[in-house]
Amino acid sequence: MYECGDLRKGLKIEIDGDPYVLVQFDFVKPGKGQALYKCKLKNMLTGSQFDRTFRSGEKFKEANLEENQMEFLYAVVDTYHFMNTSTYEQHELTKEQVGDARLLLKDNTPCSILFFDQRPITVSLPNFIDLKVTQAEPWAKGDTATGGTKPAVLETGYVVQVPPFVETGETIRIDTRTGAYVERVKT
């Protein structure tokens, strides 16, 4: 159990049977009376956010969260299939649960899935992922009118801005936190 004094940004708690993460947190001590803890909470299942004020002395249940290493297998329409790498158990996630990570997922991508009460709720990719460029415009030497970058289509369909020297068929490293090009990968 957590108490109000334990509240901090990023803490995951359970309220009314749903997991929430504290997005913002402010401590207010009025001249008289109890201290107040003004929080912005985000529901980890629905993504909705709301403000809530707690009084000192209130207690919170720790969210029953577990993180497992999984491997992306395949996608069918808006359903994404993952396999636990240690137990070989398979789980399905929806397009909403996978979120923007779906833009960088390719078969056999290792990732981490967060479970709440044995139900998968979100996917986290490794910080960097290597993808092959399937389409990139050729670059003419001295052509710098575009500011030094050009769009490239990756094997997952994701479009990223890359330096002019990157060509079709090369493998590049993408930062999954920002979705930006990092470097060419030597093969």
Q: Does domain 128-185 have CATH number 3.90.1170.50?
A: no
The pLDDT value given to residue 141: 65
Alpha helices in 67-156 (DSSP H): 95-98
Rounded CA gap, 93 and 107, in Å? 15
The pLDDT value given to residue 54: 85
Q: Which residue has the tokens 């960097």?
A: 128
**Cβ contact 20:14 at 8 Å:** yes
**Cβ contact 134:155 at 8 Å:** yes
Measuring CA to CA, which residue among 59, 68, 80 is closest to residue 5? 59
CA distances from 87 to 6, 96, 110 (A): 35, 25, 15
Backbone angles phi, psi at 99, to 5 degrees: 65, -145
Instruction: Give the tokens for residue 153.
Output: 């289509």
Indicate the class that CATH gives domain 2-62.
mainly beta
Cβ-based burial of 136 (10 A; exposed 0-12, middle 13-18, buried ≥19): buried
Domain with CATH 2.30.30.30 in the chain: 2-62
Domain with CATH 2.40.50.140 in the chain: 65-124, 128-185
Provide mean pLDDT across the span 69-97: 90
The pLDDT value given to residue 174: 93
Backbone angles phi, psi at 101, to 5 degrees: -60, -25
**Cβ contact 79:93 at 8 Å:** yes
Rounded CA gap, 127 and 124, in Å? 9
Quick check: 145 pLDDT over 60? no
The pLDDT value given to residue 154: 92
pLDDT classification of 173: cutoffs 50, 70, 90: very high
Backbone angles phi, psi at 98, to 5 degrees: -75, -35
Backbone angles phi, psi at 4, to 5 degrees: -60, -35
Q: Does domain 65-124 have CATH number 2.40.50.140?
A: yes
